[in-house]
Amino acid sequence: MNIDEVVQKYVPRSKQTRLLVLTSLEWMLVAAGVMVLSLTLPSVIATFDAGTAAQGTMASAVFFGMLIGALSSGMISDYMGRKWTNVFLMVVAGFFSGLTAMSANPFQFTLFRFLSGLGYGGLLPVVNAYLTEFTAIKIRGIYLTLQEASWALGSIAVGLFTILTLDNLGWRWSYGFLMFWSLPLLVITILLPESPKFAFFRRGKAALERILKSNVKEEIEAKPRVRIPIGALFTKRFLSRTVMIWISWFSVSFVYYGLFVWAPRIFETKGLTAASSLRYTFFMLVMQLPGYLLATLMIETVGRKKSLGVFFIGTGISALIMAAVATQTMLTVASVLISLFCMGTWAMVYAYTPELYPTEMRALGNGTSGVMARISGITAPYVTAFLMAATGNIFLIMSLMAILCAVSAAFVFRFGIETKGTAIE
């Protein structure tokens, strides 16, 4: 019996569902920690009277932190375990979010956003790997997509809080809100068990039985414990899928962060007022949820490969529509479409990535793939700001996004493998 079959037999569905809910709460915190910038950045810039260069740095600081967090957390969690890496990163994210609220100048804001980004960026691959290794094969795709769908709920939560408090209390309260949110999640994280797959591969069957609280009578296939260097991602077996998924992460992240970080400014180029732009941005955050739900429906019916390719094509077409529209009605339609397709793509990329790699290198695969998203997250706000300043419109920005989506779709259809219903090693 392999470890997937053990999980399927000995971990009750109720426990898997409970872990989905708990890890989704963490996912919501990360979403809130990242997307709070979209709604508060104009106010932060006004508070500090920041220049153009400082604005780009302040916008990208969290993504620099997330880059390092994503790159390091996978390897750390493969050594220390998913649980305690999770606990440490939760402390980092919450503590430095609180310090961000007390920033006295652009430098402090940038520094604390960078440090909180270490926690947020590290949490994503670790939490994703954790749920993957606790979930049965038949429901794995749906549960991972539902976990990713909670990103929309976190974005909506911080968006609603910010809209209700920004005018009267200011932007600092939104970052304080993140710190207080992290406290009960820290307690929950400490109480969670270790991943059964990690426990078995590092400490044997006895450790697995303690996690499962069951006596496993069957013999379990054991793999030799070996160190997995990053170069393993580029061996003949994994090279094409690594390139494919890295391009996918880069592209969807570029569209998402390039669009959402500067969404209020983008809407202003379409003739909306600052207040209306804030409301439109919140509306786009709300419309992320249908995209996740559609992805959840398609991922176990159509499959990973075809669904991801179709959603990339939809995202690219939506970007071109947004660039071309001239009325508020059509802008609303375009906002719905790009939110739906972009977030559906995110959900599928997150659910698909851990299925491409075996257990001993899954967190490494997740973490390095997340690095591509972080590099893109750093680049996109700068590129978007530069093109808006240079051209005064969003045509070039949206055209670039559409090209990236087309390239990604081509790589998915050519090099993607179908993992629906298959056992992960």
- Residue 317 in contact with residue 402, Cβ under 8 Å? yes
Spatial distance between the Cα atoms of 208 and 266, rounded to a whole number of angstroms: 51
Residue 172, in any domain of the structure? yes
| Tokens at 188, concatenated | 């929950």
- Check pLDDT > 80 for residue 28: yes
Mean pLDDT of 227-252: 87
| Residue 207: per-residue pLDDT | 72
Spatial distance between the Cα atoms of 420 and 425, rounded to a whole number of angstroms: 14
- Check pLDDT > 70 for residue 275: no
- Check pLDDT > 90 for residue 96: yes
Q: Which residues, including other chains, have CB under 8 Å from residue 102's CB and lie 6 or more apart?
A: 172
- Between the alpha carbon of residue 286 and those of residues 22, 186, 236, 334, 339, the distances in Å are 21, 26, 42, 14, 9
- Check pLDDT > 80 for residue 22: yes
Report pTM.
0.76
- Check pLDDT > 80 for residue 375: yes
pLDDT band (50, 70, 90) for residue 320: very high
pLDDT band (50, 70, 90) for residue 317: very high
Q: What CATH number has the domain bearing residue 288?
A: 1.20.1250.20
Which segment, 71-75, 112-116, 366-370, is predicted with the most confidence on average? 112-116
Per-residue pLDDT tens digits for 158-186: 989 998 898 889 999 999 999 999 999 99
* Phi, psi of 134, rounded to the nearest 5 degrees: -115, 5
Residue 317, in any domain of the structure? yes
Mean pLDDT of 299-303: 81
| Residue 88: per-residue pLDDT | 93
Number of domains forming the structure of the chain? 1
pLDDT band (50, 70, 90) for residue 224: low
Q: DSSP assignment, residue 236?
A: T
Task: Please give the mean pLDDT across all residues of the chain.
Answer: 84
| H-assigned helices in 133-192 | 137-169, 172-191
| Tokens at 41, concatenated | 């950045």
Residue 220, in any domain of the structure? no
Which segment, 29-33, 45-49, 213-217, is predicted with the most confidence on average? 29-33
pLDDT band (50, 70, 90) for residue 270: confident
- Check pLDDT > 70 for residue 423: no
Domain that holds residue 67: 3-215+231-415
Residue 399, in any domain of the structure? yes
CB atoms within 10 A of CB 352: 29
- Check pLDDT > 80 for residue 213: no
Residue 408, in any domain of the structure? yes
| Residue 389: per-residue pLDDT | 74
Spatial distance between the Cα atoms of 382 and 267, rounded to a whole number of angstroms: 17
**Tokens 């691959």 correspond to what residue?**
125
| Residue 254: per-residue pLDDT | 93
Q: DSSP assignment, residue 225?
A: -
pLDDT band (50, 70, 90) for residue 221: low
Residue 14, in any domain of the structure? yes
Residue 277, in any domain of the structure? yes
- Check pLDDT > 60 for residue 225: no
pLDDT band (50, 70, 90) for residue 334: confident
**Helices 52-80 and 13-48, packing angle to 10 deg:** 160
| Residue 274: per-residue pLDDT | 64
Q: Which of 34-38, 225-229, 356-360, 393-397 has the lowest mean pLDDT?
A: 225-229
Mean pLDDT of 28-49: 88
| Residue 206: per-residue pLDDT | 75
Percent of the chain surpassing pLDDT 90: 30
- Residue 126 in contact with residue 113, Cβ under 8 Å? no
| Residue 245: per-residue pLDDT | 94
Which of 20, 34, 59 has its CA nearest to residue 178? Answer: 34
* Phi, psi of 407, rounded to the nearest 5 degrees: -60, -45
Which segment, 239-248, 264-273, 358-367, is predicted with the most confidence on average? 239-248
pLDDT band (50, 70, 90) for residue 48: confident
| H-assigned helices in 287-358 | 288-299, 304-324, 328-352
Spatial distance between the Cα atoms of 73 and 30, rounded to a whole number of angstroms: 15
**Tokens 């970080």 correspond to what residue?**
261
Q: Which residue has the higher pLDDT, 72 or 392?
A: 72
Residue 36, in any domain of the structure? yes
